[in-house]
Amino acid sequence: MSRGKIAPREPKEPDTKYKSRVVAKFINMVMLGGKKSTARKIVYDMLETIDAEDVKEARRYFEEAIKNVMPEVEVRTRRVGGANYQVPVPVKHDRAETVAMRWILDSAKKQKGAPISISLTSEVKAAYKEEGMAIKKKQETHKMAEANKAFAHFKW
């Protein structure tokens, strides 16, 4: 059964203030219940507290933090002959970016007691310095992939 042609993805619109596709994607990830203006306010507050000097510098800082968290490999479950194996596979750039943003957002949400924009700011700063919970999650993923390297031949 053939699937036919796969439709090409439309390029996402960059956000209005920072002209960045990554910031626009992060705003959509922060958004809850369709409240985009609230999500925009949270992300813009976070970016303003990161680096109040220059708009482009804050965007570059945020994108570098995302790049530091992006995983190179992850494990996927493969069922071979009745057994399940954790097979390490390389991660495509779009997925790695999405996973990195998810890890940063999750680790910021786990910090209780502070507003989300402040906890996001601290988590992004930690990711920029290559420390924090999101970086720890990346290292755990890489360790798991390294431990299961013996099953890489099941990748097909």
The 10s digit of each residue's pLDDT in 28-42 is: 999 999 999 999 999
Q: DSSP alpha helices (H): ranges in 1-156? A: 21-30, 36-50, 55-69, 93-110, 116-128, 133-147
Position 28 scores a pLDDT of 95
Q: What pTM was computed for the model?
A: 0.88
Number of neighbours of residue 92 by Cβ within 10 angstroms: 9
99-114 pLDDT, tens digit each? 999 999 999 999 988 8
Backbone angles phi, psi at 145, to 5 degrees: -65, -40
Residue 5 lies in a domain: no
Which H/E stretch holds residue 111? Answer: none
* Best CA proximity match to 66, nearest among 21, 34, 17, 36: 21
Residue 51 lies in a domain: yes
Task: Tell me how many domains the chain contains.
Answer: 1
Which H/E stretch holds residue 83? Answer: strand 83-90
Residue 71 lies in a domain: yes
Position 1 scores a pLDDT of 59
Position 50 scores a pLDDT of 86
Residue 40 lies in a domain: yes
d(CA 154, CA 156): 6
Q: How far is CA 93 from CA 38, 69, 71, 73, in A?
A: 28, 12, 9, 11
pLDDT by residue, tens only, the chain of 156 residues: 567 788 888 888 888 888 999 999 999 999 999 999 999 999 999 999 887 667 778 889 999 999 999 999 998 888 888 888 888 899 999 999 999 999 999 999 999 888 999 999 999 999 999 999 999 999 999 999 888 877 777 666
Position 138 scores a pLDDT of 95
CATH number for position 96? 1.10.455.10
Residue 44 lies in a domain: yes
Residue 112 lies in a domain: yes
Residue 132 lies in a domain: yes
Look up the domain containing 115 and give its range: 21-154
Residue 2 lies in a domain: no
